[in-house]
Structure 1
């Protein structure tokens, strides 16, 4: 019986003299035959490539889920920001209005006046917000345009890199 292990195959490979010398030294250092060390290294490399290929299949799904959750989070954050904007603007306007107006004596009359002031101030805040939201929409458009330009540049660089690695410059 040969020294061959069950379920294995013998491969002949060529490596540079420097690599061969390095592998012989490593095999001697670990007390292994050169064939076992070389086989273990090749198995490790093949497994790493297989794992990378598997990751490539899973990554688009992971990216999609993460992007979806980030979009949901950003939408909620935007809602909170708008609400805070509206509340702060209305409160500021109401404080200013209350400093200028005389309040009636009765509780119900005061509440009715405050509610009417609040409605007017909320409307004023909403009208002012339209200008700010238009600015946000413009900013979003500019960011998306920049992102598209970046993606085009990355794609162009990848194509250029592909030409140089194929040797078809």
Structure 2
């Protein structure tokens, strides 16, 4: 078989064998360099994913605050007289923002559980909550 392949390449068996050995050495060195680079690549990918998670968390919190404040202002608008002075509207907006922020503190606890779980690199099954995954981790 080796002789046939050498003839197909128009090489002597000796030269063809040397070529095969050279390819094997190149492959082995490439594989070794891939093994050396893998942790660095994983770290770089992890940093980018962490950065995206930070940005996504900030966006979600901003949407939460805007939606909560909008909901509260709509409710206030339905209950209060229609022609309110600008200062009263701004005051209501600030109070509603503060009330939404107070509510957010409880919800952030749940978000931080998710974030800790994601940062730890543990998997989460679709039917599990972060608290369930933490209980499993503590019991094992």
> Do the two structures share a fold, i.e. TM-score over 0.5?
yes
Residue in structure 2 matched with residue 133 of structure 1 by the alignment? 108
The corresponding residue for 1:92 is 71
User: When the two structures are superposed, what TM-score results if normalisation uses the length of structure 2?
Assistant: 0.75
Aligned Cα RMSD in Å? 2.2
- Structure 1: unaligned runs, 5 residues or longer: 1-21, 149-169
Q: What count of residue pairs does the alignment treat as equivalent?
A: 123
Match for residue 40 of structure 1? 19
Q: TM-score if structure 1 supplies the norm length?
A: 0.63
Q: How many Å separate the matches in 1 of 2:121 and 2:42?
A: 20
Aligned-partner SS, 1:147: coil
Match of 1:31 in 2: 10
Q: Which structure carries more relative contact order (alpha carbon 8 Å, separation 6+)?
A: 2
Q: Is the 8 A contact 2:50 2:119 kept in 1?
A: no
From 30, 33, 37, the equivalent of 1:51 is 30
Give structure 2 stretches of 5+ with no counterpart. 124-140
Structure whose CA Rg is larger = 1
- Can you list the C-alpha shifts for 1:60-117, whole angstroms capped at 9, x where unaligned? 2232223222222221221111111101110111111111100446xxxx21111111
Partner Cα separation in structure 2 for residue 66 and residue 134 of structure 1: 26
Q: Which moved more, 1:31-40 or 1:96-105?
A: 96-105
